[in-house]
Chain A
Amino acid sequence: MTNLAINLPGLELKNPIMPASGCFAFGREYSEFYDLSKLGAVIMKAATGTERFGNPTPRVAETASGMLNAIGLQNPGVEKIIEKEVPFLGQYDTSIIANVAGSTLEEYEKVAAAFNQTDQVHALELNISCPNVKEGGIQFGTDPSMAAKVTETVKNASQLPVYVKLSPNVTNIVEMAKAVELAGADGLSMINTITGMQIHLPTKKPLIANKTGGLSGPAIKPVAIRMIYEVKQHVSIPIIGMGGISNAEDVLEFLLAGASAVAVGTANFSNPFVCPEIIDALPETLNRYGFDSVEDAIGKGIM
């Protein structure tokens, strides 16, 4: 029997596969396709202190092997999420990770503290890297001392393990990772989207209303693999890897680079069944490359 289980701070995962934040809302839509209990965990759509309506449209553009998005953190606000969405996901036998976002330290603190009210959330993913909101978000994600500060603030406000989601839009990812580890992060989640732009020829203007958007999909996978590979060698906290994963081979590649679990994002859009299909294919894929467990493969690619 191939062992897919993996234990991380706050998370006893039956398998290492979870849908990525923002690509799965709060699970309702995908629960119509399959039983969410199949998933290792679900990372919820970002929560902010109060309701946010997000950016004007168009919010997405297709690119070669990927897509750009600038949704702008549209969400009903943390209180409504705790009241309406968390209990829905709580019916399933899966771990719940809440994605915490904000524009100011106070907002991050408020959102993180709010999740103490519920015992159905198992960990926080601290979103310091959303490239699509005007204030906050990205500054916290590109300056190591700001990143450390927000990590510390959220750690103090929350009873839950905190996974800090790193932005790839930096020159030195290792420095960012070390700064948040030192500030108390229990884990890392990487990578968020890479800032990009598409110009629409008929109008000669940026296609996305926000002008820039975050690039996701297979196009960014090599960047994610490289960053995880580098970071893994300099931190001792676990990494949830993401960036363009669409099949079990991709998952193995992330494990080899040093991820302990992975999130699947954009691939859900083309195939709503992609997560369960990956879970079903993973044992055979691990075996084919000589591994009996997920645990075995973690970091084995590092030389």
Chain B
Amino acid sequence: MIKKETMLIKFVEQIALDTIEMVVENAYISKTAIPGQFLHVAVDGQTLRRPISIADINREKETITLLFKIVGSGTAKLATLKPGMSMDVLGPSGNGFQIVDKEPSTILLIGGGIGVPPLYYLGKTLAEKNKEIISILGFQTEKSVFYEEKFSSLGRTYIVTNDGSYGETGFVTDVIEKAGQFDRYYSCGPVPMLKAITAKLVDKPGMISLEERMGCGVGACMACVIPTDSNGGYKKICSDGPVFHAQEVSL
């Protein structure tokens, strides 16, 4: 259930180009959130809240990690917050990634840029369930790469940069063959990337996490919708998503 909660900021650090890692403390969210859910963060002086994915959770310490990129006024203000200050959020919001517990399996995680964060908490949760994890993480350039070591500790990890300044050169889709066999995939990133991936992996079961400009973030205002491929209707990204089965929505 979504609650309005106050988070105590414990740690803020820049970890890559314009990319901030923030650790916040909150008992309710740390106990209830699942991978793929997000927090709707209030920013002083802004009319609308900002959706930010849950990148990691430490249940013992009751902390939540957020990773965000400074792209505009809201994220710029968030980046100026300091440990000891607090933050007002709605959460945990949305439906997260569904995890198939039964069979042992190999999972491919494909993240693009600031779509990488939710995949870390997902990968960690899957690794705890003894799944084999392969990760492909795409970034624009060397300076924007983050969390390579963290993903490497979960399993084999490929870094791809568009300009070739680090790791493989090109797009995440160029590396999928190299990654080898897998049973299921999970992806988050820009829409053109998700389009390419869902087209390429049309025979594999997969889930994708989507972004859209949101109003209320609780499913009431109908701002962040995505057409479904079925009957011309829409699903709400904030409350039906942000995670969908790969073939459930038309990108």
Contact = CB atoms under 8 A, between A and B. Distances in A.
B and A form one assembly: yes
Interface of A: 22-25, 29-30, 32-33, 45, 53-54, 57-63, 65-67, 69, 71, 74, 217-218, 266, 268-273
A69 B223 contact: yes
Given A33-B4, A54-B225, A74-B225, A62 B46 contact: yes
Given A32-B2, A269-B216, A25 B222 contact: yes
Given A53-B232, A62-B48, A74-B234, A272 B225 contact: no
Given A60-B48, A272-B90, A24 B213 contact: no
Given A65-B47, A268-B216, A269-B216, A32 B1 contact: yes
Q: Is the interface of A mostly helix, strand, loop or mixed?
A: loop
Given A30-B220, A32-B1, A59-B213, A53 B47 contact: no
B1 A272 contact: no
B47 A66 contact: yes
Contact of B47 (A32, A54, A269): A269
Contact of B215 (A53, A54, A269, A273): A269
26 contacts: A23-B220, A25-B222, A29-B216, A29-B219, A29-B220, A32-B1, A57-B225, A57-B226, A58-B212, A59-B222, A59-B223, A60-B48, A60-B221, A62-B47, A67-B48, A67-B215, A69-B223, A218-B47, A266-B47, A269-B48, A269-B49, A269-B221, A270-B42, A270-B47, A270-B48, A272-B218
Contacts of A65: 47
A54 B30 CA distance: 36
Given A53-B233, A54-B234, A269-B215, 12 more contacts: A23-B220, A29-B219, A29-B239, A30-B220, A33-B4, A54-B222, A57-B225, A63-B47, A69-B215, A266-B47, A271-B4, A272-B90
A61 B213 CA distance: 7
Contact of B220 (A24, A61, A69, A273): A24
B107 interface: no
A77 to B, nearest CB: 12
B33 interface: no
A59 B215 CA distance: 9
Q: How large is the interface on B (under 10, 10 to 19, 20 to 34, 35 or more residues)?
A: 20 to 34
Interface in B210-251: 212-226, 232-234, 239
Interface in B68-121: 74, 90
Nearest to A27: B220
Dominant secondary structure at the B interface? loop
Interface in B2-23: 2, 4
6 closest cross-chain pairs (CB), A and B:
A25-B220, A60-B223, A29-B220, A269-B216, A29-B218, A59-B223
Nearest to A30: B220
Given A29-B216, A57-B225, A69-B223, A217 B47 contact: yes
A266 B47 CA distance: 8
Nearest to A63: B47
Contacts of A66: 47
Contacts of A33: 2, 4
B216 A23 contact: yes
B213 A273 contact: no
B49 A25 contact: no
Contacts of B212: 57-58
B4 A269 contact: no
